[in-house]
Amino acid sequence: MILLDNVTKYYPGESEPVLDSVTLHIQPKEFVFLVGESGAGKSTLIKMLTREEKPTSGKIMVGGIDYDYLKKRHIPHLRRRIGVVFQDLKLLPNRTVFENVAFALEIVGVSNAEIRRTVPKVLDLVGLADKGDKFPGDLSGGQRQRVAIARSMARQPKILIADEPTGNLDPKISAGIMRLLEEINNFGTTILVTTHDAEIVNQMRRRVVTIQDGKIIGDQKSNGHYYLDAERANIAKRPLANSPRSAAEEIRNATNSPRSNAHAAAQRQAEAKVVAQKTAKTAAPRKRIIQ
Ligand SMILES: Nc1ncnc2c1ncn2[C@@H]1O[C@H](COP(=O)(O)OP(=O)(O)OP(=O)(O)O)[C@@H](O)[C@H]1O
Ligand SMILES: [Mg+2]
């Protein structure tokens, strides 16, 4: 369980909060996308959960750990519960793939014998069983991303957080990474993923939380779509009278009700395409700036 209650964060010297009264509750085993424009506060929200940053005010609880009572000596315990795939991967360039994954276990005191048993299993899970002796620099972007996922999974965390895991990958490789995350989710791991990839979000139909200027402006509990504007990201708040047919259609999507016919499915696909095209126009240039 992940709980942020009224969390506000100011970075030192800043007059505007980077997170503004954020309240978010994620149940065990959920798969949640966190979307928002570049600079909206996604990575900062994740840093609150990994304790890389502390909130200025508000409450955070993860996996039964109340961060108000978190002491430095508890941090390794926390890191066992949460696996993180960082936006910049943070792989060790001079260590092999095997060693990169093993390192995650070494630092929490796992025995060498257990490391030798565990690492091949995790590499196998991410489809890199034959790459253990390669260095990160010898791998493709998608393979490097898989190493980062393997490393975050090695300690068998209950929660896996991935910050832009498909950041600079082509669509086919991105889809493979998302399938891997889905598989991990099927084992019972809670997944929180930030992404700019509208197409993937629209295909996967999971819960979608939208953040804008540090505020959560939308939370589509299921069957969510990639919308960055408050009106569409939080359709439950939209008055039906404005656009009866399409609002009802979207609410059916959001509540997971069975759809009536193939025409509706085709229409939904077409809508998703339009959204993907629109967001590609806005998100893609930003993505290039940040990479
Ligand atoms: N350590 C820091 N000190 C001061 N400001 C920061 C710091 N880290 C991030 N910021 C600012 O906080 C805002 C949110 O940054 P954050 O990295 O959370 O955005 P993001 O939603 O993850 O963006 P992206 O999609 O580009 O990764 C940005 O305006 C950023 O410049
Ligand atoms: Mg980020």
CB 45 within 8 A of CB 210: no
CB-based pocket (< 6 A), ligand 1: 11, 18, 36, 38-44, 87, 290
In a domain, 116, yes or no: yes
pLDDT tens digits, 54-87: 999 999 999 888 999 988 888 878 878 899 998 8
The pLDDT confidence band at residue 17, using thresholds 50, 70 and 90, is very high
CATH number of the domain where residue 16 is located: 3.40.50.300
pLDDT tens digits, 116-164: 999 999 999 889 999 999 999 999 999 999 999 999 999 889 999 999 9
Give the residue-averaged pLDDT of 6-22.
Answer: 96
pLDDT for 239 equals 46
CB 126 within 8 A of CB 49: no
Distance CA 65, CA 233 (A): 30
Closest ligand 1 atom, CA of 37?
Answer: 25
Sequence-distant (≥ 6) Cβ neighbours of residue 149 within 8 angstroms = 85, 126, 160, 162, 165, 177, 180, 181, 184
pLDDT tens digits, 259-276: 334 444 544 555 555 555
Residue 37 pLDDT exceeds 90: yes
> Phi, psi at residue 200, to the nearest 5°?
-65, -45
> Phi, psi at residue 32, to the nearest 5°?
-125, 130
pLDDT for 247 equals 40
The number of folded domains in the chain is 1
CB 207 within 8 A of CB 224: yes
In a domain, 253, yes or no: no
In a domain, 84, yes or no: yes
In a domain, 256, yes or no: no
pLDDT for 284 equals 44
Q: Which of 7, 14, 18 to mutate to test the pocket of ligand 1 (most atoms within 8 A of CB)?
A: 18
Closest ligand 1 atom, CA of 36?
Answer: 21
Q: Give the structural domain span for 84.
A: 2-233+264-290
Q: Model's pTM, two decimal places?
A: 0.80
Query: What separation in Å is there between the alpha carbon of 257 and the centre of ligand 1?
Result: 37
The pLDDT confidence band at residue 234, using thresholds 50, 70 and 90, is confident
The residues with which 24 forms a beta bridge, in sequence order, are 4
The residues with which 207 forms a beta bridge, in sequence order, are 32
Structure tokens at 69: 């009572």
The residues with which 65 forms a beta bridge, in sequence order, are 62
In a domain, 43, yes or no: yes
Please tell me the number of the ligand nearest to residue 41's CA: 1
Name the residue with tokens 């395409």: 273
Query: What separation in Å is there between the alpha carbon of 284 and the centre of ligand 1?
Result: 17
Lowest mean pLDDT among 48-52, 56-60, 166-170, 242-246: 242-246
pLDDT for 143 equals 93
In a domain, 186, yes or no: yes
pLDDT tens digits, 171-210: 888 888 899 899 999 999 999 999 999 999 999 999 999 9
CB 252 within 8 A of CB 259: yes
Query: What separation in Å is there between the alpha carbon of 210 and the centre of ligand 2?
Result: 13
Distance CA 242, CA 225 (A): 20
Lowest mean pLDDT among 46-50, 107-111, 270-274, 282-286: 282-286
In a domain, 181, yes or no: yes
Give the residue among 248, 247, 209 at the shortest CA–CA distance from 230.
Answer: 209
pLDDT tens digits, 87-117: 888 999 999 999 999 999 998 889 999 999 9
Sequence-distant (≥ 6) Cβ neighbours of residue 46 within 8 angstroms = 34, 84, 161, 163, 192, 194
pLDDT for 291 equals 29
In a domain, 245, yes or no: no
Distance CA 263, CA 200 (A): 22
Top pLDDT among 44 and 254 is at 44
